[in-house]
Amino acid sequence: MAFKTHNNFIAGRWVPSMTGTTYTITNPARKNEVLGEFQSSTQEDAQRAVAMAADALKGWAETPAPSRAAVLFRALSILESRADEMARSITTEEGKPLLDSQGEVKRAMNIIEYAAGEGRRMFGYTTPSEMPSTMAYTIRRPLGVVAIITPWNFPLAIPAWKIAPALICGNTLVFKPASSTPATAVKFVEVFEEAGLPSGVLNLVTGPGSSVGNTLVESSEVKGISFTGSTEIGTGIYAEGARSLKKVQCEMGGKNAVILMADADLDKAVHGIVQGAFGSTGQRCTATSRVIVEEGVYDEFMDQLIDRTGKLKIGDGLDPEVDVSPLASQSQFDIVTDYIGMGTEEGARLAYGGNALAGGIYDQGYYVGPTIFTDVDPYMRIAQEEIFGPVLTVFKAKDLAEAIEISNSVKFGLSSSIYTRDLTQAFQYVHTVETGMVHINSPTLGGEVHLPFGGLKSSGVGHREQGVEAMEFFSEVITVYVDYAGTPRQ
């Protein structure tokens, strides 16, 4: 079957990379289905995009913020009209179930709406000066050219929650999506093109992180970097960005834990844990990968967990009945199956699953079934490292203090949750758990776009994303003093 070749978007035009080299991507549910051909861009392409973004900066920065908002509102309605197409694009290139992809489109719409609303706020503040006849206030200015570097697991929502606030603040952008999910990125940029975003304000360059991404990070014309991805790559980007005093935000890996106390609503907890661990095939940064269970409820919990996990339907994400779809790529498949092997070697007990699936449609994609390990020592590698697949590790704790100790024993600190009906336990937890997002009686997942999103420790550095914090990251605050005394000061 013929497939389309997609270009980069630079200075308002769809153009091939300078070398003309391309690569293809395939559907993780059907490895033989090629979805399209994309530019394998080079340093030169990235440099050109930066130069074009720099050229467009003055015009966009001087466009009044409410007029910038008008473009975002138009983008919102175009995205809404293309919502089904976008959701299918996410599922076919990333693999997640269609319902999850539809949720992702809605989330992207929400953030665009929220950011557009900020166009009529963009507040500074006034404050009394210590001097007479003096006014003191602050205003906001854009950073300048900003690099947007995104992972494959949310090919629409993560670009949206960076691009929309960056645009409303008046920045111009070079967007480098993950190499394995460029199709949704192309469609998203088309939305802004159709919305009438001026040329050069948003540029898209596809291709390897090691060349395109790295060039953006090293460019002296780039003043800010908004990165989401692995802790390993994010740490390098943060260090490199600091060398040239760029403003950098990195949202990175997680190893999110749920604590289940004996007094909790067990049915609700099991529902949230199964959804958190196996939804989107465990490939969310906020996925639940550990459960720490108070001793008294452990056996009953395990029975219910295994029973409910056994009812999950595994298959192609385009099938509306499917709960768990394939992993996103061969490399994800290799990583996850390696960790499952490692768990057994480390001495953990495989309580459920543990297999790459075979036969029928499973032979066509990267299918690994939901997997549960018990008898896990908190210091095993499967307990400490981000697996990023449908693998759940279960621990026993004698009380809340021990459960929190296990929860905090990892280098990550993104999201966490406790199930309990006891207010005292819940608030002790809120104030001691080492994560940037804390849930009581709800899964470790997700977040609302008007609230800050991000992690502590090795999960996040720099300003939080979304909410008003996003405006803080994507703008500089300028302090203004006005002496209106009319005579020289004594």
What residues make contact with ligand NDP under the rule CB under 6 A? 149-154, 158, 176, 178-179, 208-210, 213-214, 217, 228-230, 233, 236-237, 251-254, 285, 386, 388, 414, 455, 459-460
CA distance 376 to 382: 8
CB of 205 to ligand NDP, least distance (A): 11
CB of 233 to ligand NDP, least distance (A): 3
CB of 460 to ligand NDP, least distance (A): 6
* Tokens read off for 344: 């057994």
The DSSP bridge partners found for residue 142 are 475
CB of 133 to ligand NDP, least distance (A): 48
CA distance 461 to 68: 28
**CB-side neighbour CA atoms (13 Å) of 225:** 34
Which of these is catalytic: 94, 113, 118, 251? 251
Handedness of CA 134, 138, 142, 144 (dihedral sign): positive
Which of these is catalytic: 93, 113, 285, 386? 285
CA distance 474 to 133: 33
Q: 58 CB contacts (<8 Å, ≥6 apart)? A: none
- The answer to whether residue 285 is catalytic is yes
Q: Residue 244 in contact with residue 268, Cβ under 8 Å?
A: no
The DSSP bridge partners found for residue 482 are 135
CB of 209 to ligand NDP, least distance (A): 2
Question: Of 252 and 382, which CB lies nearer to ligand NDP in the complex structure?
Answer: 252
CA distance 387 to 288: 11
CA distance 369 to 281: 9
- The answer to whether residue 251 is catalytic is yes
CB of 6 to ligand NDP, least distance (A): 15
Which of the 8 DSSP states describes residue 195? T
Residues in the chain: 490
CA distance 14 to 10: 7
Q: Which residues are the active-site residues?
A: 251, 285
